[in-house]
A = this chain, B = another copy of it.
Amino acid sequence: MKIGVLGTGIVGRTLGSRLAALGNEVTMGSRTADNEAAAEWARTAGASAGHGTFADAAAFGQVLINCTSGMVSLTALRAAGADNLRGKLLIDVSNPLDFSRGMPPTLGVSNTDSVGEQIQRAFPEARVVKTLNTINCEVMIAPGSVPALHNLFLSGNDAGAKDETRRLLQSLGWPPASIVDLGDIGTARGPEMYLPLWLRLRMALGTGHINVAVMVGE
């Protein structure tokens, strides 16, 4: 599959490398065509890995993954171009972490809106699915690094897009039973507002290899 990864941070590089290793063709996009992090990533991620601008990556991918910070995702996606997003599955992995108030960060978007909703509103012809934002990138590509069955969440308006997302998650090692469909893109507020708890669990437990398992009674 041709995948466009938007963003050159640790999330984009880690997801991109794993998806390339799984046999996908991956192009990483950034603000400029000569981004050094993207070029270095492409050199090490194998023959099927390339890099370019956000627009290059978005035009290349049949599936797009937004790995930019949620604080700048709309800017990055505008640079990618609505024409390059139209009709495509756009997996939004971002969190709008705002470090300007100190540590731990607050959220730059929350409560009455979410980045997932902002993206879907700005690009109504993209098929946005929010997922993977509730774990760090090491766990994203190695769910077995956390014990037992633990959960991911899906938020999106398009059932077919969610099915495609499920298949991509399964290729990363996430069993079908681990994936909880929360509903439409409006439900992205839940997983995005979970981040402040995740941040404090990471601080209290001293590791980022954490995730929640949703336990359900009768």
Copies in the complex: 2
Determine whether A47 belongs to the interface, using a CB cutoff of 8 Å to chain B. Answer: no
Contact A210 B201, CB 8 Å, known A111-B110, A189-B196, A193-B110: no
Stretch of A24-32, A61-69, A143-151 on the interface side? A143-151
Which residues of chain B have C-beta atoms less than 8 A from A187's C-beta?
Answer: 200, 204
Q: Is the CB of A207 within 8 A of B216?
A: yes
**What residue in chain B is nearest A210 (Cβ atoms)?**
B216
Q: Which of B101, B139, B212, B217 contacts A214 (CB 8 A)?
A: B212
Q: Which of B107, B191, B210, B217 contacts A111 (CB 8 A)?
A: B107
Determine whether A209 belongs to the interface, using a CB cutoff of 8 Å to chain B. Answer: yes
**What residue in chain B is nearest A183 (Cβ atoms)?**
B204
Q: Which of B112, B139, B148, B204 contacts A101 (CB 8 A)?
A: B112
Q: Mark A65-93, 1 if CB is under 8 A from B, else 0.
A: 00000000000000000000000000000
Instruction: Report the 6 A-B pairs with minimum CB-CB distance, sorted nearest first.
Output: A209-B217, A190-B197, A212-B212, A190-B200, A146-B217, A213-B213
Which residues on A are within 8 Å of B, measured CB to CB? 101, 106-107, 110-112, 139, 145-148, 150, 153, 180-183, 187, 189-191, 193-201, 203-205, 207, 209-218
